[in-house]
Amino acid sequence: MAAKNTITKNEMLKIIPLGGMGEIGKNMTVFEYDNEIIIVDCGMSFPEDDMYGIDAVIPDFNYVLDKNKSVNAVIITHGHEDHIGALYYLLSKREIPIYGTKLSLGLIKKKLEEKMMDKANLMRNVGAGDIIKIGNFEIEFIRNNHSIADSCSLYIKCAGIRIIHTGDFKIDYTPIDGQVIDLQKFAEIGGKGIDLLLSDSTNAENPGNSRSERIVGNTLMELFRGCKNRIIISAFASNIHRTQQIMNAAAANGRKLALSGRSMINIVKAAQELGYLNIPQDLIIDIKDVKNYKDNKIVILTTGSQGEPLSALTRMAAGEHKQISIKQGDVIIMSASPIPCNEKMIIDVVNNLFSLGAQVIYSKNTSDIHVSGHACQEELKLMISLVKPKYFIPVHGEAKMLIKHTEIAKEMGVRASNVFILQNGDIFEINKREAKADRRINVGITLVDGLGVGDVGNIVLRERRTLSQFGIFIIVATMDKNKLISGPDIISRGFVYMRESSDLICSATKLAKEIILKCEEDNIKDWVDIKSRLKDKLGSFLYEQTGRSPIILPIIMSSTTIAK
């Protein structure tokens, strides 16, 4: 189907971020023209510290689930969780073709298989340099560098508008796989005139240039060569280039490699099957066989670089891993930088490892064990100078990162009036005459809690926070025909220790009884009203006595029901 590059008088191309603006992760952007939509990326993010019980945060899909809209494709820039992690939940609601590179699709298939979903019929394999036409849109995939193989930027044409979406990127002149970012293509496209650049802002605050991944390989080789003890190294499972260098260092130093962590095992398997990992013969052993080798002959590659509660390294640090126990002299290398919301969890794991007698090498004491996969200021400037955009939108970053990136764009000659900072839900509209962002749609977030998706909202989260801070105070009473038969009895959990707070419990019990009897006197028969009075008056009383506000839960039972 040929791309429609005509433009009507009032028709404008809309770009609507549903995630990734003012935050790290959850990247998802809608491109819409003439009621046709393509989506770029569909990622998840980690829950905040106070999102108790939440496993993941994903975008609000309501806009793209509208039956009146034609959603023709999801275009994937690369295979990181913050760009593909929400696809399962979207595909559960709507069947949409997925376009991505070989590794990206391989990782997506593995993730869907873990959740017993087979959507192979929706997968469309593309490579750098390929051009696809989908309805009104024409998309060209441009090779870039990132901390995962097979990452691409996008050149999108629609209705006469030319757009570059960088995706996550950096400029690495010596990448592990030899695939250098295609700067010539960016320059060639820039020479034709680019209307809009959407560019990765993650490292916009960092001066200079990002460092090459090869630096990490050299550091690991030296660390392995000088180490006489067991090595346990954690890294992002998706960083295939890092994994390759760890394998090379292990093989060069006569060590066997064991994998720990479901995602690490699955991704290594997928990457090997697809030809992205060159694993030396007989290098990998089962984690159960580690005990059969001397410490100086073993490397364990594990998940847990972000201190995730259920990850393999976190379980090792807590003494809960089935096969591996941390012991005196173990060398732990954490080959990743902290994602901002995970810093507390990482420090807890590091402290536990130190307490067990391990030597921990991490970003605070050794700088060359990790390099970023995102462009720093000089690379961002180079991208702008090559593309020469008329309009500019920073993407993928917290507010401070987006603001800094706009300053860089203006320094590079983009007019201040042509620079836009968007929030999730803002509608950016553009045609050949103008661009504006003066409308928005209501977008929230969707919380994943176990098997529940979207059934936990702000009220439930607020209750969980209150429970974590102040506990719960339960009042149980039995009534019959509006008369108090027994109770009230008090149960406190996480609020006060009942054995040591007998005076408070007695006073609260007395007050609860008075409230119920007063309801009898006032002929208040509706249990909802009785419970409301108990919550209000007991809440005020407990706050006056303790300065705390537990959840108040009145339970009223019928004597007739009990008898049955």
> Which residues does the annotation mark as catalytic?
200, 374
Phi, psi of 92 (to 5 degrees): -70, -20
Helix, strand or coil, per DSSP, at residue 240? helix
CA 538, 544, 546, 550 dihedral sign is: positive
Tokens linked to 374: 């995102």
Task: Say which residues have a Cβ less than 8 Å from residue 499's Cβ, sequence separation at least 6.
Answer: none
Q: 370: which DSSP letter?
A: -
Count of helix runs (H) and strand runs (E) in the chain: 15, 26
Residue 215: CB atoms within 10 A of its CB come to 15
CA 295 – CA 424 distance, rounded (Å): 50
> Can you spell out the DSSP letters for 156-193?
EEETTEEEEE--S-B--SS-TTS----HHHHHHHHHH-
Closest CA to 212 of 379, 445, 428: 379
Q: Return left, alpha or beta for 396; rule: phi > 0 is left, psi -120 to 50 is alpha, else beta.
A: left
Nearest 5°: phi and psi at 217?
-60, -40
Q: What are phi and psi for residue 525, nearest 5 degrees?
A: -105, -20
Residue whose tokens read 């019959």: 480
User: Which helix (H) or strand (E) element contains residue 553?
Assistant: strand 551-558
Rounded Cα–Cα distance for residues 256 and 132 (Å):
44
Question: Which residues have CB under 8 Å from 119's CB, separation 6+?
Answer: 91, 95, 98, 109, 112
Contact criterion met (CB below 8 Å) for 350 and 360: yes
The DSSP symbol for 211 reads P
Any residues with CB less than 8 A from the CB of 131 and at least 6 apart, and which? Answer: 138, 139, 140, 141
Measured CA to CA in angstroms, residue 516 lies from 281, 536, 556 at distances of 77, 13, 10
Q: Could you give the CA distance from residue 352 to residue 318 in angstroms, rounded to a whole number?
A: 7
Inter-residue contact 375 to 170 (CB < 8 Å): yes
Q: How far apart are CA 519 and CA 521, in angstroms?
A: 5
What's the length of the chain? 564
Distance (Å, whole) CA 348 – CA 74:
38
Which alpha helices (DSSP H) does 396-478 contain, by range? 399-411, 458-470
Instruction: Using the structure block, give the residue that is written with the tokens 């991704």.
Output: 267
Q: Which two tokens stand for residue 424?
A: 């999730």
Beta partners for residue 361, in sequence order:
333
